[in-house]
Amino acid sequence: MLARLSLRVRVFLFFAALGLGVVVAMGMGLALGYRRLGAPEVLPGFVQAGVVAGFVALLLVAWVWFLFDTHVAKPIDILSGALRARAHSDVTSEMDVAMARYLGDLAPAATAAARRLTETRSALAESVMRETQRLSQEKSRLETLLSDVPVGVLLVSGDHTLAFYNSQAVDLMAAGAAPGLDRRLFDYLREGPIRHAHDRLIATGDADAATDLLCTTTTGARALAARMRLTPGGQGAVPGYVLTLRDVTADLSAHARREALLAEVFDRVRRPAANLSTLMEVAPAGEPLPAAMDSALRQEVGALSQAVTELARRHDEGRIEGGGLTQARASDLADGLKARLEAEGVALATEAADILLRANGFEIISLLDGMALHLRQDIGADDLSVRIEEEDSGAMIRVSWSGGPVSISALDRWLEEPLDRLVPDIPCRSVLASHATELWPEPMAGGRQSLCLPIRQARRATARPKPVIRSVVYDFDLLSRARTDKVAETALDALTYVVFDTETTGLLPQQGDEIVQIAAVRIVNGRRVEGEVFDTLVNPRRSIPLSSTEVHGITEAMVADAPEVGEVLRRFHKFAEGAVLIAHNAPFDMQFLRRREADLGLAFDHPVLDTVLLSAVIYGQHETHSLDALTHRLGITIPEADRHTAIGDTVATADAFLKLMPMLQGRGLTLFGDVLTEVRKHGRLLKDLN
């Protein structure tokens, strides 16, 4: 039991026992002396002498204890905390040896050991860095590759929690909140199809099996085509899986529109055709049609012609919207055509405006290549050139040459030939149909001839937008991590934490003060996840005192358009779901959350850790435990511009916790329950919220 007590408490108990022993010994000595004298008249003198001697002895023992505690026990406690910080948390600042000046050579020896540890660690780190540089480069290349693949990629554990996701997956699944590591996949995608596919693959017993499925986001806003493949699991563990996602919402919508258009075609053409058939059956053979019948016939023909024209226009528009057309730069099309013709021995001059065409680049190049070869071989065209220029809302591609004109019949014949030798079943004319356009000959000034190919949609090329930062977020250890429902029995580094901080209008929530800013970061598997951040201003629906603005810099104008407290706390509750909450001086921040529970119908009943109390566990209650003091001891720098901002203090608190965690583990506090037991010993500093 004594081993669990701190050094200073044990020293105090030792001196308390010593003082008690001295008093008892003096009392027994005086009692024996009085008994030998056997003179009752001296009893008051013996009692008075005993009280005075006992009081003096206790004062002497207390004075010696105070000196010993101040100059020995307390410095040893501080020295042990400083050594633990350097042993477990990579703190490199010099230790203050002045406070341990009465410990002889202990403080200089500890300083020398810490310096040697730092030098050894630096040398080891440099060696490891050299040895792992190649692996880091390969890791970076892999991350870059996975961040730029055109589909969403997820790596999911056997219990359906995320261990990896790329930026495309974020874009596809985001529904009010971006995905996060160690979160359940079913927070973002509908559960049924995924569970069925997973069970189906496990039932096959084939490690290489894969299956296709169609799933939707939880909001139903997007339909996603997915492919699932199992990943190896541990001994007896349920295997996880890789899930690739592609948004097919637009494809399904386009298919539905095409089916609706086709049904409308049959409906609108069938009725006039039936009417015409009836009229022709009753029309007198070889005689002029009656006026009424002639009028009805003309009306039906007109309706049929109008329906066909309108439906054809809508069909062409649908082809432009879908059909694999992408943005192609005019200069790239011209250069690609020139390269193909030069490979076939035909020179080509090019001129292209700086525009982007909505077209299938391969098809356009193949079509123009075939036309140019026919011009050269069939009519002896010379001095071939291509010009791509903007025209109205589209573009015009002109292939011109010196020589004779090309006839319409010859052009029709060329268009019936295969588009490319690689696709012999597709005629050149199909390119015109897929782009809803035509190709025709046209004479030019100066005796030159040309073929004109209009492209219906084009736009001017503008300055390249700022690149979107693409990233991948992962922690593969999550795939094999054992889980327990009992938080108290869970290892510290196996828990998910949400570290948060608030800025408020004041210090008294019970008197109406409100949150004006809240920020949070997630710690998963012992590391802070860079991309998973919650940070927002809050409209408190009340004035912000100038004294508060001077602290955090938030004015009423800054929060005028911000969301209200209720909306923000609902989002924060979702962000913190399933996590342990961490804050510096947590009772202050938590009372702003818990006072809203009844209004929101939510409970902020998460387990809570307070870095004030964790600091007291490591450094003792005699130290200052403000955020500035704690970060200074741990070698963490808070930029001046970020101090007293919610996100700045949150990041500092998270980094402090990550450095405190190995120090706690070094003291044998490896489980969450062990830490809570130790924290509660410092309850006079702050109330425990668990």
Is 261 in contact with 315 (CB distance < 8 Å)? yes
| Torsion angle of C-alpha atoms 413, 416, 420, 425, degrees rounded to 10 | -150
Provide the CB-side half-sphere exposure for 589 (13 A, CA): 25
Three-state DSSP class for 666?
helix
Bridge partner list, 533: 521
CA 272 to chain centroid: 58
CA 37 to chain centroid: 89
State the helix-helix crossing angle for 74-88 and 646-666, rounded to 10 degrees: 100
The amino acid sitting at 670 is T
| Residue 545 tokens, joined | 């005192």
Say how many C-beta atoms besides its own lie within 10 A of residue 341's C-beta: 20
Please give the Cα distance from 211 to 200 (Å, whole number): 9
CA 342 to chain centroid: 48
CA 233 to chain centroid: 25
Count Cβ neighbours within 10 Å for each residue of 410-433 and write b for 16 or more, e otherwise: ebeebbeeebeeeeeeebbbebbe
Please give the Cα distance from 404 to 447 (Å, whole number): 9
**Alpha-carbon torsion (554, 560, 566, 572), positive or negative:** negative
Please give the Cα distance from 8 to 30 (Å, whole number): 33
Is 606 annotated as catalytic? no
Is 77 in contact with 8 (CB distance < 8 Å)? yes
Bridge partner list, 474: 164
Max CA pair span of the chain: 165
Say how many C-beta atoms besides its own lie within 10 A of residue 657's C-beta: 23
DSSP letter at 539 equals B
Q: What is the CA radius of gyration of the chain?
A: 41
CA 438 to chain centroid: 47
| Residue 477 tokens, joined | 């250890």
Is 651 in contact with 642 (CB distance < 8 Å)? yes
| Residue 312 tokens, joined | 């054809």
Catalytic residue, from 71, 315, 573, 644: name it.
644
DSSP letter at 72 equals I
Which residues neighbour 72 within 8 Å (Cβ) at sequence distance 6 or greater?
11, 102, 103
The amino acid sitting at 530 is E
**DSSP strands (E only) in 444-599:** 448-455, 458-460, 472-474, 497-504, 515-524, 527-537, 580-583
State the helix-helix crossing angle for 249-282 and 291-321, rounded to 10 degrees: 170
Terminal Cα distance for the chain, rounded:
24
Phi-psi region of 288 (alpha: psi -120 to 50; beta: other; left: phi over 0): beta
Task: Map tokens 């919220």 to a residue.
Answer: 689
Say how many C-beta atoms besides its own lie within 10 A of residue 582's C-beta: 26
The amino acid sitting at 445 is A
Decide the pairing of beta strands 423-427 and 472-474.
Answer: unpaired
Residues acting as catalytic residues: 644
